[in-house]
Amino acid sequence: MRYRRVYRNGGCYFFTVVTAARRPILARPHAVAILRRAFRVVRTRHPFTLDAIVILPDHLHCIWTLPDADADFSTRWRLVKTHFSKHHPGNGPRWQPRFWEHCIRDESDYARHLDYIHYNPVKHRLVDNAQMWPYSSLDHHMKLGIYPPDWGVTAPELPPEVGHE
């Protein structure tokens, strides 16, 4: 079966992007800083809203909302990966060649994926409490009042189809 991506102008998407051979190249603050700079650089030329993100040692998840007249998330990911690869020391590929995307269907789907993103460090046993993970947009969402102060201590209920790793 041939996989077909869904491109929707102004679409909201959940993404999973994985490092090559699942190497933990994103485990150090310097690498996370390079990735953040890559996002900033790409967003200046190809705008999108970065609604949520979590960066783990060997993969990341995020939600983007594209501009109303634009559906080209593939170019954006190519540019983010390329910028990171050019500025991150080391040899060989940094990323798996593809990424996984899911077009967010409605507010409930958005909320489930937001929870999945923010609870992911606990799922992978990197921390005991989601608030302890430094490379996440959880704190931002808590300040906005989207999450209560004690969120992330226990696992949110998520259907098995949410997320992809």
Q: pLDDT tens string for the chain (165 positions)?
A: 667 888 999 999 999 999 999 999 999 999 999 999 999 999 999 999 999 999 999 999 999 999 999 999 999 999 999 999 999 998 889 999 999 999 999 999 999 999 999 999 999 999 999 999 999 999 999 999 999 988 988 878 776 667 665
Q: How far apart are CA 138 and CA 141, in angstroms?
A: 5
- pTM for this model (two decimals): 0.93
**Of 58, 22, 8, 17, which Cα lies nearest the Cα of 39?**
17
Q: Is the residue at 44 inside a domain?
A: yes
Q: Which amino acid makes up residue 48? A: F
Exactly one of 13, 116, 119, 135 is catalytic; which is it? 135
Are the CB atoms for 103 and 115 separated by under 8 Å? Answer: no
Q: What is the CATH number of the domain that holds 29?
A: 3.30.70.1290
Catalytic residue check, 13:
no
Instruction: Measure CA 41 to chain center.
Output: 16
Question: Does 22 fall in a domain?
Answer: yes
Report phi then psi at 62, rounded to 5: -155, 165
Kindly state whether residue 1 falls inside one of the protein's structural domains: no
Determine the structural domain holding residue 77 and report its residue range: 12-108
In 10 A of CB 87, how many CB atoms?
14
Q: Is residue 127 part of a domain?
A: no
User: Rounded to a whole number, what is the distance in angstroms from the first to the last CA of the chain?
Assistant: 20
